[in-house]
Amino acid sequence: MSEYFKIDPWGTSYIKDYNRLMEEFGIKPLTDELISQLPFAHRLIRRKIIFGHRDLERIIISIRSGETYAVMTGIKPSGAFHLGSKLTADEFIYFLMLSPKAFGYYAIADLEAYADNKIPLDESYKIAVDNLADLLALGLDPKRVYVYRQSEEMRVLRLAFIFSRGVTYNTLRAIYGEQRFGLYFSALVQAGDILAPQLPENSGPKATIVPVGADQDPHIRLTRDLAQKYQGEFGFILPSATYHILLRDLTGMEKMSKRNPMGILYLSESLESAKKKVMNAFTGGRATAEEQRRLGGEPEKCVIFRELLSVHFMENDAKLRELYLKCKGGEILCGECKARAWEIISKWLSEHKKKKEEMLDIAVKLLEEHTLA
């Protein structure tokens, strides 16, 4: 069995060979030509952190022709928003900003939080409100999104039920490998999440973009297979997707885990705690200052440079490039660089917290609204 079969949306696998992934499964590279057709390119796209896509062309056509399209994502409300949640949230908001005709669907996977993490629904409701407040503070327009809890959204579970008749155990095993039964069930619910925006109640078939991490491609493949299979019945348009590379935690570990709290930066944690984490982050520094001045640092290995500044906190490409060159040239050492990074990050965190505070009421309303597009 080849290496990339290991990709597992529930696991902690780390995919390094994106080219092979693209060749094997038909994810296409996000070319400069395609990027040039977007109204504007997000830093994640400019920096090729989003490296691949399926059928992004369809979304570009929708944008250019002023047609409605759906942007779909979600969250498992099992804890506070962290940098990983922010990454997908940034992508979600970006695809909404590309056209006034885009409409967002945001799934709160509270049944999964219950089944996997034993979080009761009233508890995950509170977490969801908190998560939504973060999402709004990141720039989501509450008028352009339908937020729903899995536990309340009959249409999605109905689709999952219908889709369950359209797949065999062997198909699911081929896509996901041998898994607990419930994970197959979840996969069908996620297919329901992604295709529900195309139901008649949501004004019918439309292009849909789902921004995901590379490890989530099995879900996209299953969903596209099902969209094909039920095309006659529902008229589904195969959903489009973009793929971002998998990122490390602050300590440089490839596997994110709550058991390694120093690795995860929460958007709402205290500045004191956040500072400790940033200052202890894994860098591309050399063994000694002398060596680093002589050989230069290794920014491509550095969490401060990649996971923090490139992905999240340094919007300006020229400044990022300047930092890269200075590091490579041994002109800036890790201590100074971390201090600068912390200045940017702490400012961002402080502002975010303020915005989030103002968003809590809207978050509650958004969850209670439960309206349709």
User: Does 115 participate in binding a second copy (rule CB under 8 A)?
Assistant: yes
Q: Using CB under 8 A, pick the residue from 65, 66, 143, 181 that binds a second copy.
A: 181
Task: Find the binding residues for a second copy in span 63-82 (CB under 8 A).
Answer: none
- Min dist. Cβ of residue 166 to a second copy (A): 7
Site for a second copy in 132-151 (CB under 8 A): 151
- Minimum CB separation from a second copy for residue 238, in Å? 21
**CB atoms inside a 10 Å sphere around CB 16:** 12
> CB of 28 within 8 A of CB of 35?
no
Which helix H or strand E contains 3, and what residues bound it? none
Q: For 237, how many CA atoms within 13 A lie in the half-sphere containing its CB? A: 21
C-beta of residue 36 within 8 angstroms of C-beta of residue 13: no
169 binds a second copy (CB under 8 A): yes
The piece of 49-57, 167-175, 297-305, 353-361 that touches a second copy (CB under 8 A) is: 167-175
**Binding residue for a second copy (CB under 8 A) from 96, 108, 132, 189?**
189
164 makes contact with a second copy (CB under 8 A): yes
Residue 184 vs 243, nearer CB to a second copy: 184
Judged by CB under 8 A, does residue 154 bind a second copy? yes
H/E stretch holding 344: helix 334-369
Does the protein bind a second copy through residue 367 (CB under 8 A)?
no
Instruction: Based on the shown chain and the rule CB under 8 A, indicate whether residue 187 belongs to the binding site for a second copy.
Output: no
Q: Does 161 participate in binding a second copy (rule CB under 8 A)?
A: yes
CA distance 107 to 146: 8
Which residues are CB-contacts of 224 (< 8 A; sequence separation ≥ 6)? 54, 238, 239
Q: CA 146 to CA 372: how far, in whole Å?
A: 6
Considering only 182, 235, 329, 335, the residue that binds a second copy (CB under 8 A) is 182
Tell me if 287 contacts a second copy by CB under 8 A.
Answer: no
Nearer to a second copy, 24 or 116 (CB): 116
* HEC profile of 228-293: HHCHHHHCCCCCEEEEECCCCCCCCCCCCCCCCHHHCCECCCCHHHHHHHHHCCCCCCCCCHHHHH
Q: Which is nearer to a second copy, 228 or 280 (CB)?
A: 228
Q: Is 111 in the site for a second copy (CB under 8 A)?
A: yes
Q: Which is nearer to a second copy, 188 or 327 (CB)?
A: 188
Among 59, 17, 15, which Cα is nearest to 35's? 59
Strands 50-54 and 28-29: antiparallel
Q: Does residue 225 bind a second copy (CB under 8 A)? A: no
Instruction: Assign 3-class secondary structure to 130-179.
Output: HHHHHHHHCCCCHHHEEEEEHHHCHHHHHHHHHHHCCCCHHHHHHHHCCC
Q: Is 21 in the site for a second copy (CB under 8 A)?
A: no
Under rule CB under 8 A, residue 318 binds a second copy: no
Give the single-character DSSP code of 27: P
Question: To 5 degrees, how large is the angle CA 64–CA 68–CA 69?
Answer: 90
Q: Which stretch binds a second copy (CB under 8 A): 58-66, 125-133, 178-186, 221-229?
A: 178-186
Instruction: Assess 167 for contact with a second copy (CB under 8 A).
Output: yes
Cα separation, 345 vs 340, in Å, equals 9
Could you tell me how many residues make up the chain? 373
Q: Which two tokens stand for residue 204?
A: 């019918």
State yes or no: residue 232 binds a second copy (CB under 8 A).
no
Contact between 321 and a second copy per CB under 8 A: no
Residue 116 sits in the site that holds a second copy (CB under 8 A)? yes
CB of 266 to a second copy, least distance (A): 27
Nearer to a second copy, 80 or 157 (CB): 157
**Taking CB under 8 A as the rule, does residue 235 contact a second copy?**
no
Round to whole Å and give the CA distance between 206 and 182. 29
Sole binder of a second copy in the list 61, 97, 157, 279 (CB under 8 A) = 157
- Tell me how many residues contact a second copy (CB under 8 A): 27
Residues near a second copy (CB under 8 A): 111, 114-116, 151-152, 154, 157-158, 161-162, 164-169, 171-172, 180-182, 184-186, 188-189
